[in-house]
A and B are shown apart, each in its own frame.
Chain A
Amino acid sequence: MPLENTILICAGGGCISAGEISVKEALENEIKKYALDGVVKVVETGCMDACSLGPLMVIYPEGVFYQKLKPSDAKEIVEEHLLKGRVVQRLLYKGPSGEIKPRATEEIPFFTRQVRIATRNLGVIDPASIEEYIARDGYFALRKALSMTPEMVIEEIKKSGLRGRGGAGFPTGLKWELTRKSKSDEKYLICNADEGDPGAFMDRSMMEGDPHSLLEGMAIGGYAIGAHQGYIYVRAEYPLAIERLKIAIKQAREYGLLGKDIFGSGFDFDVDLRIGAGAFVCGEETALIQSVEGKRGQPVQKPPYPAQSGLWKKPTVINNVETLVDVPYIINKGWEAFASIGTEKSKGTKVFALVGKVNNTGLVEVPMGTTLRELIFDIGGGIPGGKRFKAVQTGGPSGGCIPEEYLDTPIDYESLTSLGTIMGSGGMIVMDEDTCMVDVARFFLQFTADESCGKCTPCREGTRKMLSILDKIVEGNGTMEDIERLETLAVTIKDTALCGLGQTAPNPVLSTLRYFRDEYEAHVKEKRCPAKSCKALIAYRIDPAKCTGCTACARACPTGAITGEVRKVHTIDQEKCIKCGSCFEVCRFDAVEKLDAVEVTADT
């Protein structure tokens, strides 16, 4: 029977004098009573450094810390923690400051809920060491694939149910099959590592932390479709990823894992980097191909699809980083291993970048079908500062915002589409009550208006027009007709734009109008920003009852708008105030209030 728990009990001088030995004996007795002695190991360690709180113990694998233990606590620890898996709250380590350390509670699900396939090597291996990658079964999948026919490899990927992780979720096996069947003397495989969605950074992390997985996935893909040259199109904003990829390519070539006659199979495949130059539209596959050819990255009409006519007019497959990193796992473990995870139509796992107003920001990989609530509250540890959750934004500038009532939706491609957003590359930006949804929509429209390549009119002119209406609204000058006009424009652009960028650009507006229409109306009708975020609609004021005259705000104010003597109540000159919020942030007495501007003007 494998060991399920290891309990480290501190046997430093402090803990011994506080009664560690009797606690240990009591614990061992309880463990024996429940016949857990085969699966739970109790180990004495050196001092854990919190002697005043001893006796201390840590229970692994969760890493839960307990403090100030008595022999009588042993029973509860065994019954609750070891048998039922419930943390004994009252004994949790609170640290010298008295507050409960987050790691003992929230961070357990952060690790235990994850299923690491695409991120299997992240943080585990040295990315600059091909030997360590091989030690984790790296390049074994390539060897296995080369012993199969390309058709068998494609079949394996098709059966696994793998779908593109970059956005729309096109079945990867099918894409490969279409390209395989295109007749041509030359074919190409391009990895789209132009991770442009703001808020998503999983591709960067994978390239930085596990570059060989990507190279191996590309070599397998190249073999399947019949390509001998692959390109990684990577953003110039990712210098570290570029550096690590260069090292990895060099190592793989030295070992003959890229280059001629790989594993003596007669198959040749090599990979080169192409560095982007800062154009979001290059994430769109036809624009990306233009850019790889060294041209302006403007999209072209489809069909023909890249599978027939792509790079240099040859059949080309374009796959996202995470998709390709999943491939070696599927080949190594078999399609069943991947297909057994996930939902009916979305198989396997997905990596999400959990960012914004959430406690445990970071990269998480969970099975498809995990709910948004599990992701944000169990794994992400909820919203910091006791604030209220408002929405989660997925899919970048092509996606939308999901409100609280849909938090129990299992995440997959279809469910997110039905909520008016998309999976996208997996950015999950959590927003709380302080985030203004109109401003978020404006932020994304500004992004797409800037990034529109200008080729087609609906996108070039339409996004600018939408942006100017949104600007009007956040400044408090909007009308109800503006909201209607916004909707009409959104629908028109969606229907008529040339490429994916334009077609999805209105999504942030449409989804916020769908779920947060009241916020738009508050801006228009009441000239009020409910989140108190839009500068034109708010004002700061100092509460005379709370102000202690500490002068912190006056010193922080960049425009000298705050006056007042030491230990006397300070005031803000509304004329000079630029509403930067510095005073609000530095005040330790909550004396600076953020109010609706209408309220303050009415006062004075």
Chain B
Amino acid sequence: MENQTLTDPKFAELDEFIDNLPDKKGMLIGVLHKAQEIFGYLPAEVQHHIAQKLDIPESTVFGVVTFYSFFTMKPRGKYQIKVCLGTACYVKGGQKISDRVKEELGVTGDEPTSDGLFSVQEVRCLGACSMAPVMLVGERDFYGRLTPDKIPQIIESYRRKENKK
């Protein structure tokens, strides 16, 4: 465990972030955001590491991780698809969009696809209500005014991007 901590560059990156914080007080959520950015999810060993590093009980870390929906202890797809089910999207058919995305990817819940490329989440308002229904792929790619028949094309564009690599 300790050895892995020392050798895995991901842990080193996280440590560097924590060491550079001007004040560690109250920064647990910020550290967890960073850790999830680095590891993609927050498995037990990462939580353990953070607890030690910040000198707080592991149970506190676990409590915070499980409280907030943004944090996940399970791996997610490379491209996380967030389908908005806020009110405006809901009344404009957001559920149909989500159903279609899942159908297209062959998943039933938030588990990643077998190739690890995608995972779907139904999320609360993304704040692009005027473009309802919307979904977000990754951090930046917003798609608005969706209809279910636009979904295959959008997913395909990411598959193509992967194949090119």
Contact = CB atoms under 8 A, between A and B. Distances in A.
Direct A–B contact in complex, judged by CB atoms less than 8 Å apart: yes
A355 interface: yes
Most buried by B among A199, A357, A451: A199
B27 interface: yes
A470 to B, nearest CB: 14
A356 B87 contact: yes
Contact of A198 (B30, B86, B96): B86
A357 B124 CA distance: 19
Contacts of B29: 274-277, 291, 294
B68 A585 contact: no
B124 A353 contact: no
Contacts of B103: 558
Interface string A443-468: 11001000101000000000000000
B92 interface: yes
Contact of A278 (B68, B92, B131): B68
A99 B138 CA distance: 39
B164 interface: no
Contacts of B109: none
A276 B60 CA distance: 17
Instruction: List 9 A-B pairs, minimum CB-CB distance, nearest first.
Output: A198-B86, A277-B68, A278-B70, A198-B125, A294-B28, A278-B69, A361-B130, A355-B88, A201-B127
A427 B85 CA distance: 15
B44 to A, nearest CB: 18
Interface stretch (A209-217, A232-240, A250-258, A516-524): A232-240
Contact of A581 (B25, B28, B96): B96
A571 interface: no
A446 B7 CA distance: 45
Nearest to B92: A356
Q: Chain B CB within 10 Å — which of A198, A236, A296, A581 has the most? A: A198
B26 A363 contact: no
Nearest to A202: B127
Contacts of A586: 149
Given A580-B96, A585-B147, A236 B70 contact: yes
Contacts of A363: 130
A293 B26 contact: yes
Given A275-B33, A278-B70, A427-B87, A201 B130 contact: yes
A355 B132 contact: yes
A204 B91 CA distance: 21
A197 B96 contact: no
Interface string B106-129: 000000000000000001111111
A279 interface: yes
B129 A201 contact: yes
Contacts, number: 136
A197 B63 CA distance: 25
A235 B32 CA distance: 15
Interface in B18-55: 25-30, 32-33
Interface residues of A, number: 56
**Centre residue among B32, B63, B67, B148 by max chain A CB count within 10 A:** B67
Contacts of A237: 123-127
Nearest to B89: A198
Given A277-B33, A278-B124, A427-B129, A357 B87 contact: no
A238 B64 contact: no
Given A201-B128, A237-B123, A435 B69 contact: no
B70 to A, nearest CB: 4
B125 A199 contact: yes
Contacts of B147: 585
A200 B129 contact: yes
Interface in B62-103: 63-64, 67-71, 85-92, 96, 99-100, 103
B29 to A, nearest CB: 5
A98 B64 CA distance: 59
A279 B139 contact: no
A362 B130 contact: yes
Contact of B129 (A276, A355, A451): A355
Given A558-B100, A585-B147, 11 more contacts: A196-B124, A198-B89, A198-B90, A199-B88, A237-B127, A275-B30, A277-B29, A296-B63, A353-B130, A356-B87, A443-B87
B26 A199 contact: no
7 contacts: A198-B89, A280-B124, A353-B130, A356-B87, A431-B91, A440-B91, A558-B103
B160 interface: no
A20 interface: no
